[in-house]
Chain A
Amino acid sequence: MSLSRRDFLAAAGTGAVGSLIGSAWGATQTVDSITQVDNPLKSYPNRDWEQVYHDIYSYDRVDWTVCHPNCTQSCALNFYMKNGVPIRAEQIYHEEEGSPGPGSPGGYEEAGVSRHWNPRGCMKGLTLHRRTFEPSRIKYPMVRKGWSPDDPNPEGRGEDEFERVSWDEAIDLIAEKMASLEDEKRFHIFNAIKADGLITRHGAGRRLASIFGGCEWTEYDWYADLPPGHVITTGYQTSDADASAWRAADYTIMQGKNLIHNKLADNHFLQETRERGGKMVGVYPDYSPTVQKCDRWLPVRPGSDPAFALGMAHVIIDEELYDEEFMRKFTTLPLLIRQDNGKYLRAHEVFPDHEPPAEDSEERHEENDWGDFVMLDENGDPVPVTREEVGDEMGATPQLEVDTDVSLADGGSVAVHTDFVRQKSNIMENYDPETVEDITTIPADALRTTAREFADAEKAQWFTGEGINHWFHSNDSLQRTIFFVQSMLGNIGERGAGYYNYSGQYKIELLDGYPSYVNPDGNAAHGMYPGYAFAFFGGEQLDAHEIRGDFDRELDLVPQGDAEEPVVPTNAESYTMSKPTILWTMNCNLLNQTKHQEHVIENFVKHPDTSNELSIVSDMHMTYSARHADIVLPVPSWLECDYPDITVGPENPFIHMDHGVMDSLYDTKQDGEAVALVAEKLDEKIPPEERNVDSYRAYFDKFLDDDKDVRDYIQQTLDAGMTTRDIDVEDIEDGPERLQLKTYPRIPFYSQINEDRPFYTKTGRMEFHKEEDRFLELGRADLDHIESPEGTPYGVNKKWDEAKDEENPLYHDEEYQFYFNTPHPKYRTHSSWGMTDWNLIWASRDFGSTNADPEGTERLVDDFSFPQGEGETEETPPLGEAFVEMHPEDAADIGVENGDYVRISGKRGDLVVRVMISERQRPRSAGDMGQLTIWHGWWPQHFPDDEENDDSVKGYNVTTNIWLDPAQETDDLVHKSVFGDPNISEEVEDDIVWKGAELEHGYEETVWAPTGTNRDDLVEVEKYEEADWWPGDARKDELFQDYVSGSLQGGDS
């Protein structure tokens, strides 16, 4: 912390504007006014000077490209160029005068959508050029001084200086190390968001891993905010609609989703529901900015979200507000379940001549290999039902409420009930609104009102998001229960009705030609299970069970064993537990985003025994991850790219292709070209007989040979996909096109509901009861609220009737304990734009200012320009710093005022950060614990040092945890990829059928595997130091009370 800042502010405060006057007075004395102005309200004599602003506005030419960070939106922008430099960006409209790009014809018009989609592109896109010129850019390849191929010396990571090397040297070091590997699986590529640089950028990295025989991880499995409850229920990764469908809803529940901030470009479609008569209800622990738009806010205890949905279900069942026909046609609710073992009753168990499924479980991954199912028809007779008999294809009208004995083919009988009876009895017994009020603190009458209104709405939609997906049970039970409510009400498969998530980076899902590029000629990278890296590659002897929490130690967790001899799950041979020797990270700041940050740095990154031998980071900026690398490779910004690339997004229908608009500022190469150069070197270093393929170079020759065109890779990929096969590269060069999907706007499960196609589950229906052994073992086969394994004051990992009378042993000091909340930020996307000046000023809120910092912009340019070639840097944050939001009551309890510093401590680490007083946070007086919020994505430089603990890792994620959910550590959950291509394979020409990424059984990366390492967390907070400087605070103004009550001035006061 800098004392000079305080001194400066004191001076600035007293000097105020006076200090600025000197030069102006000087000027006035020497200039006479010549021109006479009579009445400037009517006319003005000499307006030639107006040319000044015409000159500022003028530009030489306009070019366009696409901004596509991991907000997953992708927005085409015009860049206005002067002297070869982009001076500003503007959003692209439908082609018209005044919106010159992209090309002609252009804009979104050619994509076949209306002007309702205008304009797209938020403040981040508008500072893309400032980000490009930012001092934190990496300017040339560098190698860490302490690293050598034979002695990686990982202890020096993050501390050693770097030295500049040529691209040739860097590429040679990488290829040499790769060629020396005894097992190719030790080469790992880490890609963040695959679809934003599919072909010519980091998609090429995965292609290299595939042909080389290495492994690939994704940010999904690492940071992990997917909604596994979607896969459990529907067999599909997540169900999201195009944003233009939102507007048709009559009723919207926003639960833990700050959509107002993290889907900026197309957010207006949501806001427009209300002016079309729609109602909106928010369920959040804090006054999320989205609450401002809600008609009603139901404040909820953090982590208790599943109980809210169960309470909604209770009211709908109790008051019989449900749609029986929809439930019969599209859900498991009429299917019979054996009460003795929790399995769905099979047709061959009841009907002697019904063919049983295959005996060998190894083969039970083809359609119909799980047997058929049984329902009771209206006469009470059992009837078999296959997974194809859904919707109008059903032969019978089954009963929903059955609790009886059924005679079996072997002469015995078994007690059975329907899924509906099973869910209903549990919900009616345990989740009446009064009990739900105890669990959630949401008033029972408000819950009843909301449930009735929601059921009464013709079209109702429900959103959850990343916040909730990071809670251990919310990402499972809550999501399954929301589907249960929506299917009881028939709110699936039509515009304006559905359950959406919009979290995770599954953009790739929409480009079904992509595997043909990254898995050429059947070579597929091994899937990796990075969640386990935390446990198994760490230096400490960490017990996997301990890491996961207090679960039954006898549970047969799948990948047991150690790193040397991994146990690979059945039917998941393509997964590996191999420890990476080389880890090449592209397009991801993985160390900044990781949870349990301190453990990961100490054990995964810096430990001499367990870290890897070569860590390569390709990035635009000297991020936290790049600073811990051995080899740093600079990449161009989107504005500087030589080769175009394509991108798609989950909440809009577009496929975009970007391309650079300016020359590269530095000695950068796109990932695709760097990878191609490595491949070329590998051919030189590895003899043909030892190669995995004939030539590595051949897979990247379009990057290397002058007479070849890398756009051919893009065209081949487009040709290989159903969603893109009629699109030409030339088309998207001129502007965005629309993906070829079943409907526009995209409505999840449209075909399932309207054309009677089965869901991607064993039963072909939305499944609420789960019969897989793991769910049964864990007691999670049905819809329930379970308290967090850590983030609760009550009994951990227990259902409410047990949990309510117990206390979490970690909950030792209710005075100072808090939930720890790290929501996605608005002015950044994760950590990107974290150092862009304007974004940083605004992201720092009360603490962001050009002038608050003594040298302001000067410092940003001069001192923060790490690296200077020798690794020197000033770590003082320019322009702003991180803060934690805390309720004023709770701050007062520990004697903290706005701007003071606190230390936040958890089981896994601590951090020092300044406090921003914030009434929107949940106070401890609300009934359990308070909530602390730090927006996600700050760089470590934005946090002050902890002077009592100099070596500590700095960051917002040091206290969070990396538990894996054992329910997700299974390989027997049937989901979409089990069926190969979607249920339409016979209709699709064979050469473009996507057979899945060769991971069709059991695990599927980013879909079904531990897709969430959760961060339910308890922290304590104490005062660390008083503010050395602080901004003004309107609340402290003596006029404020009159102002806010509307009585400051005027006749009504």
Chain B
Amino acid sequence: MPETYNPQLGREHSYPYEHRDEERDWHWGMIININRCINCNTCSFACKSTWTSGKGEEYMWWMNVETEPYGGYPMGWDMRLLDDLGDDETIFEAAEDGEKVKGYIAQKEEWEYPALGDDQVHGEYPTGDVVESDLENDEYHDMWQFYLPRLCNHCKNPACLAACPRKAIYKREEDGIVLLDQERCRGYRKCVKSCPYHKPMYNPETGVSEKPVGCFPRIEEGNVPRCVSSCIGKTRLHGNINRGPDAGHPGGNTSAAAGRSPVNYLAKSDEKIALPLYPQFGTRPQVFYMPPYHVPPEFLTQMFTPNTADKQNEWPGSTFEESIKIVQDRVRNPSHHTLGILQLFGATTRLIETYTVKENRVKGWDRKGNKVVDMPFEEEMEVREGEMWTNQP
């Protein structure tokens, strides 16, 4: 089986297919700021109303928000797999004979309750005490919860693609979106079993499996996916995760900023602030989360880092727990530049390819180099002259 270098782990591991010689110029990627998420599930409803309101899809939520640690759709999906894997072992390396990927089939009743644990919290009621978080003093909420939006990661090492015996799942050349060919699929459900995030789902009415489509009809038109554009919490930013610092002007338009995309900056710059969900699975997921800063780092280390004793990748800090703490602090106290990028979240339905942050203004351009956002950090306060105006009519 071919070996592939996984930068999220900082090492090589096996993957059933050879990668392209060079990375795509454009690859689907997303940033989610968990600290802004209010668990309204507007994203979930937006996705479902767009893609899965047909027969056989009643139970399907391609996009869902789970309240950690009790939520889970399907229930216990991450616990189960974490338990099955050895230290520093990807799902590809752990695969048993005759299989490409280590996975498990979630039972039907584990898919039944999409809102399981919604808004619940873990911990002891602080009788006679308070619950407090103070990052400078390594203090985190000892009674905690957080909201984890979950969707297809359009992985660079997709497990569903690796597992499909019919090769009916593929990664699009132009944008890296992973699609399941509805005409070719025969319903073996190897993808349902192998995806560690449990996003391919089986449709008993049609007899074939389905998986999230990355809103490709919208991407093709230059718009961000529904879960991003519908997010009233302004938790999300979508764009070209592959556009690095050396990239030129989008569309050759020199009036637009050159350089990296805002999602690339948040996920991959020296000021890295967003981390993948369970990178230890080895799939190189392309959704990156700004972790919750009130939550104990031990749990987050398990969830958002490879969680190995020996830290091999290039993330900040000398251990993964340190990485988490550094990123938590960056999220709690963002730099001026990051704060500028945060204003782009939810500002437009258009895909933002490049951007600038100058003083207290942020601008964004699309793939053709057209300006799509130009806004201040703060709105000007307006006061009407004249005594006839009142704020208490």
**A3 interfacial contact with B, CB 8 Å:** no
Q: State whether A749 and B302 are in contact (beta carbons under 8 Å apart), knowing that A275-B35, A1050-B280 are contacts in the complex.
A: no
Give every chain A residue within 8 A of B79 (Cβ-Cβ).
1034, 1037, 1039-1040, 1043, 1048
Which of A38-46, A205-213, A323-331, A561-569 is found at the contact surface with chain B?
A38-46
Cα(A15)–Cα(B127), bound, Å: 45
- Determine whether the beta carbon of B115 is less than 8 Å from that of A841: yes
Cα(A983)–Cα(B261), bound, Å: 53
- Determine whether the beta carbon of A749 is less than 8 Å from that of B202: no
**B80 interfacial contact with A, CB 8 Å:** yes
Neighbour of A119 across the interface among B229, B373, B388, CB < 8 A: B229
Q: State whether A1049 and B82 are in contact (beta carbons under 8 Å apart), knowing that A90-B46, A982-B390 are contacts in the complex.
A: yes
Nearest B residue to A54 via CB reads B217
Nearest B residue to A1050 via CB reads B307
Q: Nearest chain A CB to B154's CB is how many angstroms away?
A: 12
- Determine whether the beta carbon of B188 is less than 8 Å from that of A261: no
Give every chain A residue within 8 A of B117 (Cβ-Cβ).
845-846, 1034
Q: State whether A722 and B389 are in contact (beta carbons under 8 Å apart), knowing that A12-B108, A97-B350 are contacts in the complex.
A: yes
Chain B proximity mask over A1033-1044: 1 for CB below 8 Å, otherwise 0: 111010110111
Q: State whether A97 and B222 are in contact (beta carbons under 8 Å apart), knowing that A268-B346, A1043-B69 are contacts in the complex.
A: yes
8 Å CB interface, A44-65 against B:
44, 47, 49-50, 52-54, 56-57
- Determine whether the beta carbon of B38 is less than 8 Å from that of A267: yes
8 Å CB interface, A246-286 against B:
247-248, 260-261, 264-268, 271-272, 274-277
- Determine whether the beta carbon of B349 is less than 8 Å from that of A96: yes
Give every chain A residue within 8 A of B71 (Cβ-Cβ).
1034
- Taking A43-B173, A919-B143 as given, write out 12 further A-B residue pairs in contact, using a Cβ cutoff of 8 Å, ordered by the A residue number: A23-B187, A35-B184, A41-B17, A49-B182, A264-B38, A276-B339, A295-B134, A297-B132, A722-B390, A826-B40, A849-B113, A1051-B309
- Determine whether the beta carbon of A926 is less than 8 Å from that of B202: no
Q: Nearest chain B CB to A482's CB is how many angstroms away?
A: 18
Cα(A90)–Cα(B390), bound, Å: 34
Q: Nearest chain B CB to A426's CB is how many angstroms away?
A: 27
Nearest B residue to A744 via CB reads B382
**A966 interfacial contact with B, CB 8 Å:** no
**Which residue of B46, B146, B207, B392 has the most chain A CB atoms within 10 A of its CB atom?**
B392
Nearest A residue to B17 via CB reads A41
- Determine whether the beta carbon of A748 is less than 8 Å from that of B391: yes
Give every chain B residue within 8 A of A925 (Cβ-Cβ).
125, 127
The B interface, classified by DSSP as helix, strand, loop or mixed, is loop
How many residues does chain A have at the interface if contact means C-beta atoms less than 8 Å apart?
163
Neighbour of B307 across the interface among A97, A1044, A1051, CB < 8 A: A1051
- Determine whether the beta carbon of B69 is less than 8 Å from that of A1034: yes
Chain A proximity mask over B141-183: 1 for CB below 8 Å, otherwise 0: 1011111000000000010010010111111110000010111
Give every chain A residue within 8 A of B132 (Cβ-Cβ).
295-297, 446
**A236 interfacial contact with B, CB 8 Å:** yes
- Determine whether the beta carbon of B229 is less than 8 Å from that of A42: no
Cα(A1053)–Cα(B320), bound, Å: 12
Q: Nearest chain B CB to A508's CB is how many angstroms away?
A: 10
**B99 interfacial contact with A, CB 8 Å:** no
Give every chain A residue within 8 A of B229 (Cβ-Cβ).
90-91, 93, 119
Nearest A residue to B186 via CB reads A28
**B128 interfacial contact with A, CB 8 Å:** yes
Give every chain B residue within 8 A of A40 (Cβ-Cβ).
17, 161, 164, 167, 169-171
**A541 interfacial contact with B, CB 8 Å:** no
**B120 interfacial contact with A, CB 8 Å:** yes
- Determine whether the beta carbon of B233 is less than 8 Å from that of A267: yes
- Determine whether the beta carbon of A28 is less than 8 Å from that of B187: yes
- Determine whether the beta carbon of B392 is less than 8 Å from that of A976: yes
Give every chain B residue within 8 A of A275 (Cβ-Cβ).
35, 331-332, 334, 339, 342
- Determine whether the beta carbon of B379 is less than 8 Å from that of A743: no
Give every chain B residue within 8 A of A722 (Cβ-Cβ).
388-390, 393
**B97 interfacial contact with A, CB 8 Å:** no
Cα(A448)–Cα(B114), bound, Å: 42
Q: State whether A1050 and B40 are in contact (beta carbons under 8 Å apart), knowing that A20-B204, A98-B349 are contacts in the complex.
A: no
- Determine whether the beta carbon of B72 is less than 8 Å from that of A1034: yes
Cα(A958)–Cα(B137), bound, Å: 48
Neighbour of B171 across the interface among A41, A98, A1048, CB < 8 A: A41
- Determine whether the beta carbon of A267 is less than 8 Å from that of B232: yes
Q: State whether A743 and B217 are in contact (beta carbons under 8 Å apart), knowing that A98-B349, A1049-B85 are contacts in the complex.
A: no
Chain A proximity mask over B103-122: 1 for CB below 8 Å, otherwise 0: 00101111011111111111
Give every chain B residue within 8 A of A130 (Cβ-Cβ).
49
Neighbour of A37 across the interface among B170, B232, B334, CB < 8 A: B170
**B58 interfacial contact with A, CB 8 Å:** yes
8 Å CB interface, A279-330 against B:
287, 289, 291-293, 295-299
**B367 interfacial contact with A, CB 8 Å:** no
Neighbour of A127 across the interface among B45, B128, B383, CB < 8 A: B45
**B308 interfacial contact with A, CB 8 Å:** yes
- Determine whether the beta carbon of A1039 is less than 8 Å from that of B133: no
- Determine whether the beta carbon of B299 is less than 8 Å from that of A1049: no
Chain B proximity mask over A919-948: 1 for CB below 8 Å, otherwise 0: 110110111000000000000000000000
Chain A proximity mask over B189-211: 1 for CB below 8 Å, otherwise 0: 10000000000001010011000
**B88 interfacial contact with A, CB 8 Å:** yes
Give every chain A residue within 8 A of B334 (Cβ-Cβ).
275
Cα(A857)–Cα(B58), bound, Å: 8
Q: State whether A27 and B217 are in contact (beta carbons under 8 Å apart), knowing that A88-B49, A722-B389, A982-B392 are contacts in the complex.
A: no
**B356 interfacial contact with A, CB 8 Å:** no
Which of A108-116, A164-172, A394-402, A663-671 is found at the contact surface with chain B?
A108-116
**A1052 interfacial contact with B, CB 8 Å:** yes
Q: State whether A98 and B223 are in contact (beta carbons under 8 Å apart), knowing that A299-B125, A1031-B116 are contacts in the complex.
A: yes
- Determine whether the beta carbon of B173 is less than 8 Å from that of A42: yes
Give every chain A residue within 8 A of B76 (Cβ-Cβ).
1032, 1034, 1037, 1039
Q: Nearest chain B CB to A154's CB is how many angstroms away?
A: 40
Give every chain B residue within 8 A of A1034 (Cβ-Cβ).
69-72, 75-76, 79, 116-117
- Determine whether the beta carbon of B49 is less than 8 Å from that of A98: no
Cα(A760)–Cα(B213), bound, Å: 58
Q: Nearest chain B CB to A271's CB is how many angstroms away?
A: 5
Q: Nearest chain A CB to B56's CB is how many angstroms away?
A: 10
Contact sample, A vs B, 17 pairs, CB 8 Å cutoff: A17-B202, A37-B167, A91-B229, A99-B349, A114-B379, A119-B230, A122-B40, A260-B39, A264-B42, A297-B143, A842-B114, A842-B118, A845-B115, A925-B125, A982-B390, A1034-B117, A1049-B83
Nearest A residue to B205 via CB reads A23
**A542 interfacial contact with B, CB 8 Å:** no
- Determine whether the beta carbon of B391 is less than 8 Å from that of A291: no
**A611 interfacial contact with B, CB 8 Å:** no
Give every chain B residue within 8 A of A297 (Cβ-Cβ).
126, 130-132, 141, 143
8 Å CB interface, A1000-1053 against B:
1031-1035, 1037, 1039-1040, 1042-1053
**A848 interfacial contact with B, CB 8 Å:** yes
- Determine whether the beta carbon of B125 is less than 8 Å from that of A887: yes
**A822 interfacial contact with B, CB 8 Å:** no
8 Å CB interface, A81-95 against B:
87-91, 93-94
Neighbour of B41 across the interface among A94, A96, A842, A918, CB < 8 A: A842
**A763 interfacial contact with B, CB 8 Å:** no
**B255 interfacial contact with A, CB 8 Å:** no
- Determine whether the beta carbon of A743 is less than 8 Å from that of B384: yes
Cα(A272)–Cα(B347), bound, Å: 14
**A121 interfacial contact with B, CB 8 Å:** yes
Cα(A293)–Cα(B333), bound, Å: 14
Cα(A750)–Cα(B86), bound, Å: 62
Cα(A247)–Cα(B300), bound, Å: 28
Cα(A292)–Cα(B143), bound, Å: 9
Cα(A293)–Cα(B83), bound, Å: 30
Chain B proximity mask over A821-849: 1 for CB below 8 Å, otherwise 0: 00000110000000000100111111111
Give every chain A residue within 8 A of B123 (Cβ-Cβ).
919
Chain B proximity mask over A425-466: 1 for CB below 8 Å, otherwise 0: 000000000000000011100100000000000000000000
